[in-house]
Chains A and B, each alone.
Chain A
Amino acid sequence: MSAPALTSPAPDAVVPGRPTVGQRLTAFMPVIALVVLLAALTIADPGFLTLSSLTAAVRTSAPLVVLAAGATLVVLCGGIDLSIAALCSLATVFFALWLPDLGGITTVAIIAATGAIGALQGVAHVLFRIPSFIVTLGGMSIFTAVALVISDAGPVRVVDRDATNWLTLYVGGVVPMAFVVALVLVAAVSLVLRLTPLDSWIRATGYSESAARLAGAPVDRVKIAAFTVSGACAGLAAVMLVSRNFSGSPTMADNLLLPAVAAIVVGGTAITGGHGSLWRSLAGALVVTLLRVGLPIVGVPSAYEQILYGAIIVAAVALTLDRSKVLIIK
C-alpha cells in the first residue's frame, strides 16, 4: 500500500519511460568516465592520443574485458565469482602443458575445461546452498594451489606459437584480434540474452530470487549457466594471456581479479544483482585499463595501482548502489 497509485497521473507527471537527469547520468557513467579519462590523459601527455598507444591499451584490455564479461553474468544473478583470476592462471598452466599433446584444439579444450570447472562451482553453490562468495573463494584458493603444484611453481614455456598466433594478429592492421574476440564475445552473449527469455530470468533471479523461483523461472539452471560461462571466459582470457606472454604461469592472471571486479562496478552493474549489462562491463574494463596505463603517464608509481583499484571499487559501488532497495548490508 505504500506505492502511490498511478491511476490518474497528475498533469505534471513524468512521462514513464523517460529517465530523470540523474538516472541518465548513472546510465552513461562508464562512457562519461572513459571520455573524461581520455581527455585528462591527453592533457597530461599530448603524445598519448596516438594510434599506437591506443592500440596497445586496447590490446592489454582484452583479457580483462573477457574476465569481467563472464563474471558480470554471475553478478547479474546476484552472486559473485572471485575465482576467475585464479582459474585463468590455472588455465594458462594447463594450456602450456597440454599444447604439445593436443596442438590446435588446446584452445577449445581449455575453454571447455574451465567452463566445466565453473559449472562445478555453480552446482556446489546451488546444490549445497553455499553462498557464491564462499564457493568461489574456496575455488580461488584451490585453483591457485593446483596451478602451483602442476607447474612446479614456475612459468611453463610455450614453444609452439602457432596455436595462439592468430590472437596476436591485427584486424585491418589496427585493431588487435584479441580485442575483436572480446568484443564479439560481449556482443554474442548480450544478443543471446536479449533474444531469449534468459534476460528475464537472470534479472528476476538477481533482483529477487524467491520471486523468480515462485514464478517458475529455472533459477538453479540459470545460475549454473552463469558460472559456466564465467569459467569458460576465464579459459578464453587465459589463451589470450598465453598468446602475449608465450608461457603459462600459476600467478599470471592473479592481478586481474580486482580490476575485473572494478570493471563490473565501474560499468554500473549493481553488485546486488538484477541490473546491469555486459556492455557496461566492457566500458568499465576500458576505464580500468586507461587508469592502469595512465598512472605512469601522470607520474604515479605502479605500486599504487592496487590502492586505486580498491578505492575505485568502493567508490563505484557507493555511487551506484540504490540504498533504498538494500535494507541490510552484510
Chain B
Amino acid sequence: MTTNLQTQPDPRVPAPAPALEVRGLVKHYPGVKALDGVDLVVRQHEVLGLAGENGAGKSTLLKALVGLVRPDGGEIWVRGEKVRLRSVVDAADHGIGMVFQEQSLVPNLTAAENIVLGSEGPGVRRGIYRWNTMRRLAQEQLDKIGSHIDPLARTDTLSFADRQMVEIAKVLRIEERTSHPPVIILDEPTSVLESKEIETLFTQVRRLREFASVVFVSHRLDEVLDVCDRVAVLRGGRSVGEVPSADAAPAELHRMMIGSTGSDDHYHGAVAERPDEARRPRLVVRGLSGKSFRDVDLDVHAGEIVGIVGVHGSGREDVCRALFGAEPTTAGEVVLDGEKLDLSGTRAACAAGVGYVPAERKTEGMVGPMSVADNMTLTKQQSRCTGPLVRPRKQATLVDRWIERLSIRTPHRGTAIQRLSGGNQQKVVLARWLVAGDVRLLLLDHPTRGLDIGARSEVYRLMRELAGSGVATVLLADSLEEAIGMSDRIIVMSDGRATTEVAAPPGGKPTPLDLVKEMV
C-alpha cells in the first residue's frame, strides 16, 4: 500500500462531513420520473450498497454522480461542498470515479496502457510514451489494490476478474486529482464474474475501504449484504430507506425494494408437474465441435430444462450459439425430434423450431427503436401475414394477446421496445419465439441477466410453463443457484468439453459447491 492511510481505517466511526451527499435529486425522462427526489449519504471509508429493482433509478443516480446525466433538480455535495458535475472529468476532479457495468478497457492494449490511458501524466513526455515510467505508474496502482497482474500483459489475455482489477486500478488514478480519499462506484461489478472471481473482488472491495469510499451496486442481494456496511434502497426514483447490512436479511431488503413481502427463492425446487411420457430425447447432440468446444454430447428431453454451467471460457456460450446456427461448427451432428438440424444459419434454426435468447439483450436480443409489436413478430413473420402481406389487425390481436398473457407492462403495442424496463423487454424477446406456437427447443443464454428479482421470477415462471408444455430448454444461467434451481439436469463444461453430468431433480438438488468442484 502506498496511499494515504493516515485517515481512520475504522468505517464505523462517522466522519465529520460525508464523502458524498445527494439531496433531493430529480431527473425526468419523457414519460417517466427516473429520479424523484433521491437522498443519499456516502460516509467516508464505508462501502455503501445501493439496491433497487429495475427502473428504481439506480443507473440514473450513478450517472448523475459521475457527470453523465445532468439532474433537473437537487444538489450533490462532496465533502461538505456543493458541486456541479458536468462530465466524467469533472467528477474525477472531485474524486468520484466509476467502474462501469460494461467493461471499458481497450482489449488490445496492455494493462499498464489501460490504467494510464487518458491520464498519462508523466507517462508521456513531449508526445512520446515512456514505457518505464508508465509501467511504474501502473504497478503503483496495482500495488494499491494488492493485485499481482503483470502490467505488461495484454488486456484481452486477462481473465474477467483480472480485468475488473485493472479497471479498479485505473479508476483509483483519480486519487491524483484530489487530496481527499476518492469515492469509487462499482456498477454491477459481479455480473460477468464467476463465483470464485467474485470472492477475489470482494476482498478488493474491503481493501478499498481503507482509503476510499465505495458505492456498490448489484442485483444480488446476498452479495450486497455480504460486502457492504450499509445498504440504501431506492424504489420508483425515491430513497425508501437504509439498513445496516449486519442486521438485514435479503428478504427484508427485497420487501423494501418491491414494497411488499416476497421470497427470492420460490423457484428453488419449484416442482413442475410434468407428464412422464415416453422419455425420448427431443434434442440429441453428438460430437459437436467448433472453435472453442470439442466433442460435446448433449441430450435434452421434451419438457426438460438442462443447465450448462462452466467458468468463463468453458465454451458453453458458443455451444449454445452453434445449436442456433450462429457459430460455425467443424464436426458433429445435431438431431431435433428425429430430424437432422441444419446448423448453417439462424434462419434454418428458426424454421426448425429452435429459439434463442441472447445474453446481450440490448444489442442482440431486440431492435431498440422498433415497436413492441414488430419486435415480437420479427422472427415468425408468418404469424402476422397472410401470404406475403402483413395484416396489421392480425398482428395487433396476436401481440395484444401475448402482452396480456405474459403481463408485459407497456403503454401500447406500438411503443418502442427500448422504452420498456429490462424485464418487460426480455418478455417481449421471449414472446418472439412463442407467438407461432412452434418452438420445440429454447436456448436461453443468461435470460435473467440484469433483471431484478420480480422480473426474474416472472421469467422463471414462464420457463417452467414452457417446459410444462413440452419445450426442451437449454439454460445458461446467471448464477449457479439459478442453474440449480431451474434445471432438471446440469452439464458441467470445462475447457470446451462437457465433462460431467449432474442430476438435479426436485428434492435432490446438488449444492453450488458440488458443481464448483467439477468446473475447475
- The digit string for A1-13, where 1 denotes a CB below 8 A from any CB of B, is 1111111111001
Q: Which stretch, A52-60, A213-221, A278-286, touches the partner chain B? A: A213-221
Q: Are A197 and B33 in contact (CB under 8 A)?
A: no
Residue A208 interfacial (CB < 8 Å) = yes
Given A4-B55, A16-B415, verify A214-B365 contact (CB < 8 Å): yes
Look across to chain B and name the residue whose beta carbon is closest to the beta carbon of A210: B364
A212 and B422 alpha carbons, distance in the complex (Å): 19
Q: Are A4 and B378 in contact (CB under 8 A)?
A: no
Partner of B381, one of A2, A194, A200, A211: A200
Residues in B47-103 with C-beta less than 8 Å from chain A: 53-60, 63, 101
Q: Are B59 and A13 in contact (CB under 8 A)?
A: no
- The digit string for A286-308, where 1 denotes a CB below 8 A from any CB of B, is 00000000000000000000000
Q: Are B370 and A1 in contact (CB under 8 A)?
A: no
Residue A207 interfacial (CB < 8 Å) = yes
Q: Are A214 and B324 in contact (CB under 8 A)?
A: yes
Q: Are B369 and A275 in contact (CB under 8 A)?
A: yes
Q: Are A200 and B365 in contact (CB under 8 A)?
A: no
Residue B189 interfacial (CB < 8 Å) = no
A194 and B390 alpha carbons, distance in the complex (Å): 8
Q: Are A200 and B32 in contact (CB under 8 A)?
A: no
Q: Given the complex, which residues of A lie within 8 Å of B381, measured CB to CB?
A: 197, 200
Q: What is the minimal beta-carbon distance from B388 to any residue of chain A, in angstroms?
A: 5
A290 and B267 alpha carbons, distance in the complex (Å): 66
Q: Given the complex, which residues of B lie within 8 Å of A50, measured CB to CB?
A: none
Residue B419 interfacial (CB < 8 Å) = yes
A1 and B34 alpha carbons, distance in the complex (Å): 12
Residue B109 interfacial (CB < 8 Å) = no
Residue B479 interfacial (CB < 8 Å) = no
Residue B127 interfacial (CB < 8 Å) = no
Q: Which stretch, B173-181, B345-353, B469-477, touches the partner chain A? A: B345-353
A20 and B415 alpha carbons, distance in the complex (Å): 14
Q: Given the complex, which residues of A lie within 8 Å of B31, measured CB to CB?
A: 6, 9-10, 13-14, 16
Q: Are B418 and A3 in contact (CB under 8 A)?
A: yes
A275 and B367 alpha carbons, distance in the complex (Å): 12
Partner of A3, one of B188, B324, B419: B419
Q: Given the complex, which residues of A lie within 8 Å of B414, measured CB to CB?
A: 16-17
Q: Are B54 and A1 in contact (CB under 8 A)?
A: yes
Interface residues on B, range: 35 or more
Look across to chain B and name the residue whose beta carbon is closest to the beta carbon of A8: B236
Look across to chain B and name the residue whose beta carbon is closest to the beta carbon of A208: B367
Q: Are A218 and B347 in contact (CB under 8 A)?
A: yes
A199 and B384 alpha carbons, distance in the complex (Å): 13
Q: Are A20 and B30 in contact (CB under 8 A)?
A: yes
A147 and B248 alpha carbons, distance in the complex (Å): 79
Residues in A1-47 with C-beta less than 8 Å from chain B: 1-10, 13-14, 16-17, 20
Residue A203 interfacial (CB < 8 Å) = yes
Residue B377 interfacial (CB < 8 Å) = yes
Q: Are A5 and B421 in contact (CB under 8 A)?
A: yes
Q: Given the complex, which residues of A lie within 8 Å of B6, measured CB to CB?
A: none
Q: Are B350 and A216 in contact (CB under 8 A)?
A: yes
Q: Which stretch, B37-45, B163-171, B204-212, B404-412, touches the partner chain A? A: B404-412
Residue B128 interfacial (CB < 8 Å) = no
A208 and B358 alpha carbons, distance in the complex (Å): 13
Q: Given the complex, which residues of B lie within 8 Å of A2, measured CB to CB?
A: 59-60, 63
Residue A127 interfacial (CB < 8 Å) = no
Q: What is the minimal beta-carbon distance from B384 to any residue of chain A, in angstroms?
A: 8
Q: What is the minimal beta-carbon distance from B378 to any residue of chain A, in angstroms?
A: 4
Residue B425 interfacial (CB < 8 Å) = yes
Q: Are A216 and B347 in contact (CB under 8 A)?
A: yes
Q: What is the minimal beta-carbon distance from A77 to any residue of chain B, in angstroms?
A: 13
Q: Given the complex, which residues of B lie within 8 Å of A216, measured CB to CB?
A: 346-347, 349-351, 378-379
Q: Given the complex, which residues of B lie within 8 Å of A194, measured CB to CB?
A: 390
Q: Are A17 and B60 in contact (CB under 8 A)?
A: no
Look across to chain B and name the residue whose beta carbon is closest to the beta carbon of A200: B374
Q: What is the minimal beta-carbon distance from B119 to any residue of chain A, in angstroms?
A: 21
Q: Are A200 and B370 in contact (CB under 8 A)?
A: yes
Q: Are A3 and B379 in contact (CB under 8 A)?
A: no
With a 10 A CB-CB cut-off, give which of A1, A3, A5, A275 has the most chain B CB atoms. A1
Residue B366 interfacial (CB < 8 Å) = yes
Q: What is the minimal beta-carbon distance from B196 to any residue of chain A, in angstroms?
A: 25
Given A6-B419, A16-B414, verify A213-B60 contact (CB < 8 Å): no
- The digit string for B487-502, where 1 denotes a CB below 8 A from any CB of A, is 0000000000000000
8 further A-B contacts with Cβ under 8 Å, apart from A16-B31, A17-B414, A212-B378, are: A4-B29, A5-B409, A5-B420, A9-B31, A20-B30, A204-B367, A208-B363, A217-B347
- For the complex of A and B, list the 10 residue pairs with the smallest distance between their C-beta atoms, beginning with the closest: A5-B55, A216-B350, A5-B421, A197-B381, A2-B59, A16-B411, A13-B31, A4-B32, A4-B34, A7-B409
A-B contacts, 21 listed (Cβ < 8 Å): A1-B450, A3-B420, A4-B57, A5-B53, A6-B410, A6-B415, A10-B31, A10-B32, A16-B31, A197-B385, A199-B390, A203-B367, A203-B370, A207-B368, A207-B369, A207-B370, A210-B364, A213-B326, A215-B378, A215-B379, A216-B350
- Could you list which residues of chain A lie within 8 angstroms of chain B, going by C-beta atoms? 1-10, 13-14, 16-17, 20, 194-197, 199-200, 203-204, 207-208, 210-218, 274-275, 325
